[in-house]
Amino acid sequence: MMENTNIKLPDNFETYNEARQAGFLRMKQLKEKGAKVVGMFCSFVPMELVYAAGALPVGLCAFTEEPIPAAEANLPRNLCPLIKASYGFALTDTCPYFYFSDLVVGETTCDGKKKMFELLDEIKETYVMQLPHSRDDAALAFWKDQIVRFKEKLEDIFQVTITEDDIRDAIRRKNRERRVMLKYLELGKLDPAPMSGYEMGTRVDAGSFSFDLDQRCDIIEKRTAEVIAEWEANCKGKPSTRPRLLVTGCPNAGVREKIIRAVEELGADVVAFDTCNGNREKVELVDESNPDVYDALARKYLNINCSVMSPNDSRRAYIGELIDGYSIDGVVEIILQSCHTYDVEAHFIKRFVTQEKGLPYLNIETDYSQSDKGQINTRLAAFLETIDK
């Protein structure tokens, strides 16, 4: 029998939209002081180079349905909602982060984004990194060259010289953030779950609107310590009967309310995330001992387990590690409509989860609208009934 209550959010909890709105004012103040800003969409873009250039990386708006009708004037309706929202915010000039960006950086993770960047470039200069979709020696050499070219682009647009020492310092700072964020995400290993997956994911995403990297780390470290102290005082030794879920697939910020919050309200705990905004980018550090900083960056970023990589066996291997390490009872995969790479790869993920790990698996294909909210709720409830906990 599942417990019916879920973990409460802390009184000072800031939603993703609240954090994004608060970040607008901070960004405006920073620009007024002369800050240089680089807008980006994807975790494949090496932030270390942006920091080394003395600039601030910022994630661009892409997770709500409001600008999608405007985007569909130029983009097909049967396109990924993340792509349409990204372009729609720029087209309607309703994303302050896009407005304040001196340069926008894209990457060829999928055909839809690649072509959308051509339209985006008509609104603001958009530099596109050509991402290879394999991990052999030729791909590594190509990606290393792309990283050097991106460094040169930053030097040109900001009229600065980026030294290898600048890059090494940025690598150390960014690695610290990865360690801090991963330790925070690994709170999900505790039983009972010490916090809701809804809060966990929201804080990770909202952290990008705190533009001081060290301050961002301090905030997460403080929250991690608070959660551990509360868990040890009130929960340790009291294992929960709530199913423990792993969420995998596409970025989920735009559907967090109707899937992650919903399934937790139905009686489960989302304790692990194999997603771009979860463990995926943070699990591997940049090798600080590598004397070639560009090779170190290329190796780290090419190893991100995104579905655009083919083959992508390492993603299944890591999902297996998460299942074992977080004591997972079931897997929910989120596919944004028309995201073909994740949609096709879901076949392998389902087979791995159900046959090799022997766990229930649910695939939810959705977009940013609320029209399927009731249907999703029904499917989530039925899925939880299949879990023997």
Per-residue pLDDT tens over the stretch 103-125: 999 999 999 999 999 999 999 99
- Percent of the chain beyond pLDDT 70? 97
Residue 322 above 80 pLDDT? yes
Identify residue 16 by its one-letter amino acid code.
Answer: Y
What mean pLDDT is predicted for residues 257-267? 97
Look at the block and give the residue holding tokens 């090779």.
295
Q: Name which residue leads in pLDDT, 13 or 340.
A: 340
Per-residue pLDDT tens over the stretch 176-211: 999 999 999 999 999 999 999 999 999 998 888 888
Q: Share the mean pLDDT of the chain.
A: 94
Residue 229 and residue 44 in contact, taking contact as beta carbons nearer than 8 Å: no
pLDDT computed for residue 277 by the predictor: 86
Q: Does domain 16-160 have CATH number 3.40.50.11890?
A: yes
CA 37, CA 97: separation in Å to the nearest integer? 9
What mean pLDDT is predicted for residues 301-320? 97
CA 220, CA 216: separation in Å to the nearest integer? 6
Q: Would you place residue 1 in the very low, low, confident or very high pLDDT band (cuts 50, 70, 90)?
A: very low
The number of beta carbons lying within 10 Å of the beta carbon of residue 28 is: 14
Per-residue pLDDT tens over the stretch 329-351: 999 999 999 999 999 999 999 99
Beta-strand ranges (E) seen in 8-125 are 37-40, 56-59, 103-107
Residue 230 above 80 pLDDT? yes
Instruction: Return the structure tokens found at 352.
Output: 């791995």
What mean pLDDT is predicted for residues 341-364? 98
Lowest mean pLDDT among 3-7, 150-154, 246-250, 347-351: 3-7
Residue 4 above 80 pLDDT? no
Q: Which residues contact 143 (CB under 8 A, 6 or more apart)?
A: 131, 132, 298, 301, 302
Secondary structure string (H, E, C) spanning 29-84 = HHHHCCCCEEEECCCCCCHHHHHHCCCEEEECCCCCCCCHHHHCCCCCCCCCHHHH
Identify residue 254 by its one-letter amino acid code.
Answer: G
pLDDT computed for residue 298 by the predictor: 98
Q: What is the pTM of this model?
A: 0.94
The CA R_g of the chain, rounded to the nearest whole Å, is 20
Domain boundary assignment for the chain: 16-160
CA 208, CA 15: separation in Å to the nearest integer? 13
pLDDT computed for residue 6 by the predictor: 55
Q: What number of H helices and E strands is found in the chain?
A: 15, 8
Q: Which residues contact 192 (CB under 8 A, 6 or more apart)?
A: 231, 235, 238, 239, 240, 242, 269
pLDDT computed for residue 2 by the predictor: 45
